[in-house]
Every structure is written in C-alpha cells, then in structure tokens.
Amino acid sequence: MSARIDITLTVNGERVTRSVEPRRHLIDFLRAELGLTGSHAGCEHGVCGACTVRVDGEIVRGCLVLAASLDGAEVMTIEGLTDSGEVTDLQAAFVARNAAQCGFCTPGMVMAAADILRHHPDADRGAIREHLSGNYCRCTGYQAIVDAVEQTLAARKEGAR
C-alpha cells in the first residue's frame, strides 16, 4: 500500500478532509471520493475540457491536477456552480439554443462559459470562441454554445442597466 497524504479542501462551499494517494488526480478524487460525478473524465490528458473545474477561482483541468497538491484550496464543481445559482441563466440559454446535445461536454463547457461571464463581460463572438476552444464538443459544432453564451452576456448587460 502506498503512502497517503491528508488534505483539507473546501469543495462547493463545504470543508472536506480526506486521505489521498499522492498521484490521485483531482477529477478522480471528486468523482470517487466525494461522489461529484458532474465533471467528466474524458481524455485524461488535459485536451478535451470535460473535467474543467474551478480551483481558487480559476478554471483548471481536473485530470492534470493532483488532489494532494490542493491542500487548503477552494474547489468549485459544476454541482456547486449550479447550486449557487450563478449559471441559471446560462443553463436556460443552453436549453433554449439546444447547446447541450449528448451532454458529455456540457459540464466542462458551462464551467468555461461561466469563466467568460465572470471575467470577460464584454466578450464578442470571437473572444467567446477563443475562450471555449479548449473544450471539445463533437455534437453541436459550437455555434449553439457560442449563441448561448452571447445571449447570456447580452441579457446580463441589459439587466445591469
């Protein structure tokens, strides 16, 4: 049996302490240890974006980060983002635009799109496409996803007036 490391994280606002194997990736920890299966393990090489989560406010690929390296960190998964209400309007836009077809990429795509909404409220279609370019979708052709993000940005701007 390999040595284990004790870590304490705040996941979706809840403090959790666990003993983890040193080489366990964050996505595997979230799914297996905490039962948070909304984020998906896709390519396991950091290419597809299905495992996108927030760590200390920044989006990261959960398959590239070791859980043991995150002692003291704050992690937000798609479950936490949804529960917080932060992306309710974005989710509605995804539904309205049919931007979630098979659904496999959707959690990671919503995490990346939420990052645009938080940090780039004036993003145009080109900037939206660029920001989402690290998240692969085989079903939609991205048009509907970009439309949904653009719609949400416009609605939030209108609501801020």
Q: pLDDT by residue (tens digit) across 56-85?
A: 999 999 999 999 999 999 999 999 999 999
Half-sphere exposure of 129 (CA within 13 A, CB side): 7
Chain position carrying tokens 């049919």: 98
Report angle CA 63, 49, 33 to the nearest 5 degrees: 40
Give Dmax over CA atoms of the chain in angstroms.
59
State the average pLDDT for the chain.
95
Regarding pTM above 0.85, the answer is yes
Q: pLDDT by residue (tens digit) across 117-146?
A: 999 999 999 999 999 999 999 888 899 999
User: What percentage of residues in the chain have a pLDDT greater than 90?
Assistant: 89
The CA distance from 16 to 134, in Å, is 29
